[in-house]
């Protein structure tokens, strides 16, 4: 039997973070796997930062990001360009992650080509096709096309079983983002980049740090205005609180954020951070307010309570356990829940010490062993 040919496809910073440890795990087994990486560069600058940090060099770079990019053109471009890559490398397995347009279209292209599709972080659902948009439908379509489903939790597996996915095609792995995070926390202790130096210069040790991130499409418009008004209220009512907000580059985010929050002494609006700097800042924070899916998974491993700026989440496990709380974009709810955690030390401690349901840092090893086993089983059947 020759080498198993793997093609790992991703396009955004969150995907890169979650795929990086899987890439490195496969690369350690070069006697068994020929692994190549294709990036669509659905995001460019933020993607490159992660590639540099993890030392990953793509074999194929489609470089598809364009000004004023829309879902129609992006979908068409990924499908067309991936045809060339698939025909050149001719992979046995194609690995996609989560719920991006890159994942959905790469799955479709791989289905057309005839490669087996492996879905990392499979089975997450809100069952509301408009929330998150378009990610919920991207994830469901990918799930319908996938041959193997690597579910991070028992609940994710149950979602897949309800959709009639064959039990033998599902493996509960934990989430690869925990693999990435645990490795990154060790590494950032040994680095000192310009961003971390700057963050150290503005952090006030006597203040409780609230880290904020926000970018989701469904919050654009009135949602972001409500979020910003809430942050303004929190800052003005708590002199011992410092808010740091790395602001997403999307004009729909930057507009209301800078209009409402500029000039407030204890709010710092900064450029988006590289992944290692963001991990460092998460570790320094007291509370995190975010609409990010990845942060919902990462922060509990660092003992940080999370308020989620969404009405629904495809990651309900942390909500059930209690490490995460949904607050939506309602100004009063964001303020009240933040104040509660700032003032109630017992509740804060309880929330920060709860178990993280998303993994133990061994997800990638489980995935690689599973693929190796399945390939050997198929070879025996021949």
**Annotated active-site positions, please?**
99, 121, 135, 215, 217, 248
30-48 burial, b at 16+ Cβ within 10 Å, e below that, comes to: eebbebbbbbbbbbbebbb
Q: What is the 3-state secondary structure of 143-172? A: HHHCCEEEECCHHHHHHHHHCCCCHHHEEE
For 263, the enclosing helix (H) or strand (E) is none
Strand partners, 326: 308
Q: Does the bond joining 134 to the residue before it have cis omega, within 30 degrees of 0?
A: yes
For 307, the enclosing helix (H) or strand (E) is strand 306-308
- Cα separation, 370 vs 176, whole angstroms: 15
Q: How many CB atoms neighbour CB 106 within 10 A?
A: 31
Q: What angle do CA 115, 118, 177 make, to 5 degrees?
A: 145
- Cα separation, 339 vs 29, whole angstroms: 50
**At which residue do the structure tokens 């897949």 appear?**
160
């Amino acid at each position: 039997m020759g080498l198993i040919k793997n093609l790992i496809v991703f396009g955004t910073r969150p995907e890169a973070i979650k795929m990086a440890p899987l890439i490195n795990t496969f690369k350690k087994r070069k006697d068994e796997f020929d692994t190549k990486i294709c990036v669509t560069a659905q995001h460019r600058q933020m993607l490159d930062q992660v590639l540099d940090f993890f030392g990953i060099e793509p074999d194929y770079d489609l470089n598809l990001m364009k000004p004023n990019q829309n879902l129609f053109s992006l979908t068409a471009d990924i499908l067309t360009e991936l045809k060339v890559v698939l025909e050149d490398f001719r992979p046995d397995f194609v690995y996609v992650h989560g719920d991006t347009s890159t994942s959905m279209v790469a799955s479709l292209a791989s289905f057309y080509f005839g490669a087996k599709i492996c879905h990392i972080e499979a089975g997450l659902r809100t069952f509301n096709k408009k929330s998150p948009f378009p990610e919920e439908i991207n994830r469901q379509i990918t799930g319908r096309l996938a041959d193997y489903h690597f579910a991070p939790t028992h609940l994710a597996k149950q979602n897949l079983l309800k959709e009639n996915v064959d039990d033998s095609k599902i493996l509960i792995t934990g989430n690869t983002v925990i693999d990435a995070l645990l490795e990154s926390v060790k590494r950032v202790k040994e680095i000192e980049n310009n961003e971390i130096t700057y963050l150290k210069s503005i952090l006030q040790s006597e203040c409780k740090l609230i880290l904020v991130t926000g970018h989701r499409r469904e919050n654009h418009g009135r949602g972001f205005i409500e979020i910003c008004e809430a942050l303004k209220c929190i800052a003005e009512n708590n002199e011992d609180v410092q808010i740091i907000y790395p602001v997403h580059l999307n004009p729909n985010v930057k507009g209301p954020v800078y209009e409402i929050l500029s000039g407030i002494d204890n709010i710092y609006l900064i450029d988006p951070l590289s992944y290692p700097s963001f991990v460092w800042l998460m570790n320094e924070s007291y509370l995190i307010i975010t609409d990010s899916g990845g942060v919902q998974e990462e922060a509990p491993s660092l003992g940080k309570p999370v308020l989620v700026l969404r009405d629904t989440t495809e990651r309900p496990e942390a909500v059930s356990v209690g490490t995460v709380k949904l607050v939506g974009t309602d100004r009063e709810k964001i303020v009240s829940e933040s104040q509660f955690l700032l003032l109630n030390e017992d509740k804060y401690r309880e929330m920060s010490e709860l178990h993280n349901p998303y993994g133990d840092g061994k997800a990638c090893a489980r995935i690689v062993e599973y693929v190796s086993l399945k390939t050997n089983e198929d070879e025996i059947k021949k």
